[in-house]
Amino acid sequence: MVLNTLAPKTESLSYALAAVRALQLDMRADPAVVVLGEDVGRGGIFGQYSGLQKEFGEQRVIDTPISEAAIMGAGVGMALAGLRPVVEMRVADFALCGMDEIVNQAAKNRFMFGGQGRVPLVARLPGGIWDASAAQHSQSFEAWFASLPGVVVVCPATPQDNYSLLRASLACGDPVIYIEHKTLWGSQGLVDESLQVPLGKAAVRRRGSALTLVSWSRQALLCEQACETLAGEGIEVELMDLRTLWPWDRDGVLASVAKTGHLLVVHEAIQAAGFGAEIAATVAEATGARVKRLGAPRIPVGYSPVLEAQSRISPDAIAACVRSMLR
């Protein structure tokens, strides 16, 4: 499917096609925006580049060899030369082959050269558990990148945010680690093309006064299900979807916790050393609130459904944790 309508409007789009629309509009407006990666010419493995090479040609939607280090290195060079590349890594797990280029080149260039060089690059790293894909294709690395000075980290959960946050990332001017969840591509939602979403601002998905629940990416959607269950029991939870992990909405979270007095951070990533620890520590240092984290055990994601389920944080587990905190 190719989206060709020029006038801004609101329509129902999949998570993948919302990203196509964002790229399409920015590529039309700015010839410096280019795409490079494996299989982008045929639309990408999730359809997140569908129709773009047909419209913009092979010089702007560039199919590359199978070498993540080469792809990321080329993207950094393009950015330093004045282009605004979107670098496709297929899945976050494969990006590990390009970590030197991300960590030591993209992230540090502006600092090490006194601002003479900028790397306005968006690296798309689909992350999270991919159904029946086992330990090497189901990892969540967002905490690694959140601890890396010099990069922005974005984790959109909805089609609207995948559209608006991708456009904000393209306009950012610094390297952005853009982590879309591997299982969200087909999810549908209304997308308003005129809606701008700033980096670093959480979305309050649900209002409540009993407890503040903070999450991001696909896990925020499972938290919504838990909130529905709890609401039926008379427990109104305030749900915040961070949307960006760096910068993260510290003021928004602290304001919510000041109201509720309780914080639960939930993420799909392994709990040990996960980004939830940063949020929990920040809130504990600033308030007297009761604080708890809920994340995956420190195990590889299994291939079989039974083993894979051990790494998932279910809505029932989230609701049970909320109940235990409020006893």
pLDDT truncated to tens, each residue of the chain (327 aa)? Answer: 445 545 568 999 999 999 999 999 999 999 999 999 999 999 999 999 999 999 999 999 999 999 999 999 999 999 999 999 999 999 999 999 999 999 999 999 999 999 898 999 999 999 999 888 899 998 999 999 999 999 999 999 999 999 999 999 999 999 999 999 999 999 999 999 999 999 999 999 999 999 999 999 999 999 999 999 999 999 999 999 999 999 999 999 999 999 999 999 999 999 999 999 999 999 999 999 999 999 999 999 999 999 999 999 999 999 999 999 999
- DSSP-derived 3-state class of residue 129: coil
Phi, psi of 108 (to 5 degrees): -105, -10
Catalytic positions, written as ranges: 137
Position 11 scores a pLDDT of 93
pLDDT at res. 268: 97
How many Cα atoms are found within 13 Å in the side-chain-facing hemisphere of 135? Answer: 5
Residues near 94 by beta carbon (within 8 Å), at least 6 away in sequence: 68
Residue 43's alpha-carbon distances to 89, 150, 178, 217, in angstroms, are: 13, 30, 18, 23
Distance, CA of 221 to CA of 224 (rounded, Å): 5
For residue 93, the SS3 value is: helix
What is the identity of the amino acid at 326?
L
Cα dihedral: 147, 135, 94, 214 (round 10): -40
What are the chain's domains? Answer: 11-192 (3.40.50.970), 203-326 (3.40.50.920)
| Amino acid occupying residue 239 | L
How many helices (H) does the chain have, and how many strands (E)?
Answer: 12, 14
